[in-house]
């Protein structure tokens, strides 16, 4: 009778640093503005740091944190309210022209 064979399991190797996916993208105010006037629900979910499925659950419950509208079977999220929800909407102060500044001061 032969002795039983011993199988040694080798743990799977993990990659040291996986490449970031869309859901791990770092969103800046400039990159959100670059989306245009509105974006799709999946992108808005990524910006807000939530999964696509969570975004759809919230939108069905009317609990999505940003105003949205429906176009056919698709949801669109305006980028301005998205920036506002993230406290990134800034309105730059109007600049004074040099001639206007000199006209008001002698």
**Pick from 77, 71, 76, 83: nearest CA to 30:** 83
The pTM score is 0.63
State the pLDDT at residue 34.
95
Helix 41-48 vs helix 52-60: crossing angle, to nearest 10: 110
Contacts of 56 (CB under 8 A, 6+ apart): 41
CB atoms within 10 A of CB 79: 21
The DSSP code sequence of 2-42 is PPPPPPPP-PPP--SSPPP-GGGPPP-HHHHHTT-SEEEHH
H or E stretch at 64: none
For residues 65-69, give the mean pLDDT: 95
Confidence of residue 101 (pLDDT cuts 50, 70, 90): low
């Amino acid at each position: 009778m032969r002795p039983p064979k011993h199988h040694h399991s080798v743990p799977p190797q993990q990659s040291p640093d996986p490449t970031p996916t869309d859901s791990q993208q770092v969103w800046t105010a400039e990159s959100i503005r670059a989306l245009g006037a509105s974006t799709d629900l999946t992108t808005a979910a990524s910006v807000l740091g939530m999964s696509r499925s969570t975004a759809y659950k919230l939108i069905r419950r009317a609990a999505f944190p940003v105003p949205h509208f429906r176009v056919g079977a698709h949801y669109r999220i305006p980028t301005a309210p998205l920036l506002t929800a993230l406290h990134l909407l800034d309105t730059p102060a109007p600049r004074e022209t040099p001639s206007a500044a000199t006209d008001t001061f002698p």
